[in-house]
Structure 1
């Protein structure tokens, strides 16, 4: 049996912020009375927000109200009601993760819809997320090779190595 859910990803980076809305198809691959084995069998990005400059109050603080307005406007533009969002992720990366109110921002935004994964991504996590998102990890596995991925952001550059 397949189920389709809607997910939103919110990336608050050093210099830019963007939202991505996706449809994710889940399927239980086990049969009968067995323990469920849920797998993602399809993903489709159906809406990408424009890229915004990450709003700051000053060099030490993120502008929470401006960020909330961006999210509100983009939810409206996506035409997806908040109650239809099943899951998602809010990730603060780069230098923005070091702002004095980064945790407060995560807390404020995590309640906006669905069951969210909320994280402040330091350089290690950020480089892995970037490498997976770029396809470097999959390429390395499928081609039995090593590959480096460089994530060049607005304030930081991170590198990851995927080895087979």
Structure 2
């Protein structure tokens, strides 16, 4: 048989310069000086090892133990590594709320102690309702705020919760941090950013009132006042069952010398609530404070309150300000 007059030339690596003819295979009898690795192109991107390394998804829990309320929120946080900048830093690209528990009243055993058993039960119910176990949690935080932080066993309880309900951080929020968190959580920072306006956020909680001045989306000043809606609590018979020192002081400013066990009628409670409301208004509208208002500041007052374009309210009392809540809880929140 005569030789092939047009023999097929050997196939070499240089045939693929600049990416030419990259997607091909070699015949069994073909003379070549290289091999090809063929990757499956129809698989899920999320299954690719490089993609997995650059993208991290974490299951997070946030436990907020406040003066009056306790709430648990579970979230899915997605992070991406800044690989294109040759960095090992990850940043959050999205967050999804998986479950948000209803707000429960923070349980107290006495004026000095949080009821640790009841608090643990509240948090365990949140895990059960979310269909999650502490072993599922990748990260999270326990934050104590306001009057809850002042209880003798507060930090010890938070540390135990952080250890037993997942591996996460235990933190105590100071007055300035609380004010800043409230400004972001209420949406005041977003409103200020989107509108370019100067917004004052007034967060009235169970133990304290947090103030934040927001300009173009940035919190530029914060302050706190010792006025809150749950510093005094009565039972069904209108007997005082909880009276924090600050609550006793505020009642005295309104003309009442109350102690635990005393009866507080509706008209008297109304007078105390009015005095507290006037004190909050004075803290954000006057520059020369009366001595009784000045003594309520837990921080320095807010500077530069001129030119405020709008006021937003947050915290438990804000639910009544915006008429989203009508129930009574035996406190000064109304």
- The match for 1:129 is 181
- Relative to the length of structure 1, the TM-score reads 0.90
C-alpha deviation, 1:79, in angstroms: 0.7
- CA deviations over 1:23-50 (Å, ceiling 9, x no partner): 1111113238x22231111111110112
CA distance in 2, matches of 1:122, 1:80: 30
Query: 1:49: which partner in 2?
Result: 101
Give yes or no for the alignment of 1:31 onto 2:89.
Answer: no
In the alignment, structure 1 residue 18 sits paired with structure 2 residue 71? yes
What's the CA shift for 1:117? 2.5
C-alpha RMSD over aligned residues: 1.7
Q: Determine if contact 1:149/1:161 at 8 Å carries over to the other structure.
A: yes
Q: Gapped runs of 5+ residues in structure 1?
A: none
Displacement of 1:80 in angstroms is 1.5
Whole-Å Cα distance in 1 between the matches of residues 80 and 204 of structure 2? 35
Establish whether residue 9 from structure 1 lines up as the match of residue 59 from structure 2.
no
Matches within 5 A, 1:114-153: 114-153=166-205
Distance in 2 of aligned mates of 1:83 and 1:51: 24
Q: Tell me if structure 1 keeps the 8 A contact 2:81–2:87.
A: no
1:162 matched residue in structure 2: 214
2:162 maps to which residue?
Answer: 110
Task: Check whether the contact 1:29–1:37 (CA below 8 A) recurs between aligned residues.
Answer: yes
- Separation in 1, partners of 2:172, 2:149: 6
Aligned to 1:66: 118
Q: How far has the Cα of 1:135 moved from its partner?
A: 2.4
CA deviations 1:7-26 (Å, max 9, x no partner) are 11111111111101111111
Deviation at 1:138, TM superposition (A): 3.4
- Aligned pair count reads 163
TM-score by length of 2: 0.46
**Which structure shows the bigger proportion of residues in strand conformation?**
1
Say if 2:61 and 2:73, in contact at 8 Å, map to a contact too: yes
Instruction: Tell me, yes or no, if the aligned pair for 1:148 and 1:159 is still in contact at 8 Å.
Output: yes
Contact 2:58 2:138 in 1 (8 A): yes
Give 1:142 deviation, angstroms.
Answer: 4.1
CA distance in 2, matches of 1:138, 1:40: 18
Structure 2: state its 5+ residue gaps: 1-53, 217-334
2 CA distance for matches of 1:65 and 1:126? 26
Query: How far 1:73 moved relative to its partner?
Result: 1.7
Name the structure, 1 or 2, with higher relative contact order (CA <8 Å, separation 6+): 1
1:96 corresponds in structure 2 to: 148
